[in-house]
Structure 1
Amino acid sequence: MKNYILSCESTVDLTREHLAQRGIAHIGYPFELGGKCYLDDFWNSISYEEFYCAMSRGAESKTAQINAYEFELYFEPFLKDGKDILHLCLSSGITGVMNSALIAKEHLEKKYPERKIYIVDSLAASSGSGLLMDRLADLRDEGMDILSLYEWVEQNKLCLHHWFFSTDLSFYIRGGRISKSVGLVSGILGICPLLNVNDEGRLIPREKIRGKKNVMKAIVHKMELYAKNGHNYTDKCYISHSACLDDAKQVAATVENTFPNLCGKVETYDIGTIIGSHTGPGTVALFFWGEPRKK
């Protein structure tokens, strides 16, 4: 039995069952949909269909950070049980939640001086941070101690690549990621932006591609360019999507045909309520390992 806990946030966009099977603890974010408060708890408080249908009908979804007190309540039982903690935060380029985790860490390490809490800025989001958590679980299961694991993730987290496209820009416009004028022109021309997460963990528009078929080809081409060992890529690949499963399946099939040596099939997950509140329906994200991300 390991003397430490691997921990993450609900924004890893995997499933409750997956995390339980891998022995990974998690904490959920609060959010508000149509004026009602919920917890991001892997579709227990609200169903996947209800959430995205409400957004499609125009319901406003507001997200909030996990505060320091909530982190303390979450971390303390592990420490009382004699466990150290390695916790992976949603990217600081997206949220300031890491500051809350660090405040909780400082307070609890004074209360439990014999214990260690390692807080990691994942510089990742959605099932990208989920893919990173899975690698940490693999290394833990291979016998790596918590300090070595912390050093490994700090050295290697930028090797995780994120590429996204969206066929519905209205929620990107609402969130200020795309201007109204650009969104209007893009909608008229049928442009689907291709975005990625940069080395600072920020979501950056990279290309404007006309037509869904073309952007699907383009996102797989990015994997051809940046995946470790190119077409001989032998690691795992994850896809997440927001209410566009058919698009996600098509991208997954293309990836599997293009990279015949994948470690298993492409694993496909739902984009959860927190990331989904900002993307809305119609987003597909592709995650894989490669050389360190650059600007």
Structure 2
Amino acid sequence: MNVQILCDSGCDLSKETLEALSLEMLPLKVTINNEEYEDGKTISPLQVYESMRSGEAPKTSQVSPQAFRETFIKYVEKDQPFLYFALSSKLSGTYQTAKMVEQEIKEEYENAKFEVIDTKAASLGYGLVIMRIAELAKEGSSYEDILEIGEYHADHMEHIFTVDDLEYLYRGGRVSRTAAFVGSLLKIKPLLHMEDGKLVPLEKIRGSKKLWKRMVEIIGERGKDFENQRIAISHGDALETAEHLADMIKQEYNVKDIHIDMIGSSIGAHAGPGTIALFFLNDIYQ
């Protein structure tokens, strides 16, 4: 490959996908009961969800400067150009840490060719960006083309998601205690999306049937050219629901490719079990 693609575990891509696309993944950290684990390496999402169901509140932390330095230097010393597209800077300090390390290394190595990019995306919204640029890298595309197309995909990625229990978002400081209580009491399901890399409430819907129908409608309102793009659904240990939503989308639109994966440990520690998230492009790169 002309260009190596790096990502972090906030992309929620499975080990099989990472290996198939020759990706190097840097793990965020998850702490449960004072025990620290590496997301995607030493803890599974299922372990995180089980701990949350039993009342635990997992904590997460970013990739360390040392991990970035060791990984970046490894490629720089081999004269291997690389691109690291990072989890949204509004959700984690990982991007800022990587930028700091990038600056240090470029001062030490004049010929270092790499960039650190903020996707302002998360979960499989981020994962779809990574999959696309990794495919381009495998095809032998140029550094400049991969960078341009990756940034375009990141800029045009839609995130539409809902959580099964607002309590988890409350614990993570995403919603107020009152909103969590009222939502649970009235069986109100929140729809959220991403604006400039931040989680923002979109709509409140009462009842699951209406919720899935509305998610399918939003794709039609915001997306385009479905036959020429890959859509993704990530889930918090709710595969049956994810597959049901995928079937609804396929019936409504001419979608050929829907990628389904479980939400990883670091994202899942905030969203909680039962979360369903939908990702698609609102414009196609020409």
Q: TM-score, normalised to structure 1's length?
A: 0.91
User: What's 2:6 paired with?
Assistant: 7
Give 1:1-295 correspondences, 5 Å limit.
2-41=1-40, 44-198=41-195, 200-229=196-225, 233-260=227-254, 262-264=255-257, 266-291=258-283
Residue deviations 1:193-223 (CA, integer Å, cap 9, x gap): 000111x111111100001111111111111
Post-superposition offset of 1:142: 4.0
- The runs of at least 4 aligned residues of structure 1 exceeding 4 Å deviation read none
Post-superposition offset of 1:67: 2.4
Partners of 1:47 and 1:68 lie apart in 2 by 24
Amino acid at match of 2:266: I
Residue deviations 1:158-205 (CA, integer Å, cap 9, x gap): 21111001121110111221111111111111100000111x111111
Partners of 2:125 and 2:277 lie apart in 1 by 9
Q: TM-score, normalised to structure 2's length?
A: 0.94
CA contact (8 A) 1:167 1:212 kept: no
CA contact (8 A) 1:30 1:64 kept: yes
Amino acid at match of 1:59: E
Post-superposition offset of 1:86: 0.3
| Unmatched segments (≥5 aa) in structure 2 | none
| Bigger shift: residues 250-259 or 108-117 | 108-117
Post-superposition offset of 1:5: 0.8
Partners of 1:244 and 1:131 lie apart in 2 by 20
| Bigger shift: residues 142-151 or 68-77 | 142-151
CA contact (8 A) 2:188 2:206 kept: yes
Aligned length: 284
Post-superposition offset of 1:252: 1.0
Partners of 1:37 and 1:13 lie apart in 2 by 19
Residue deviations 1:238-273 (CA, integer Å, cap 9, x gap): 11011222211111111111123x233x22101011
Partners of 1:105 and 1:30 lie apart in 2 by 21
* RMSD, aligned CA: 1.6
| Unmatched segments (≥5 aa) in structure 1 | none
- Percent sequence identity is 31
Partners of 2:61 and 2:209 lie apart in 1 by 35
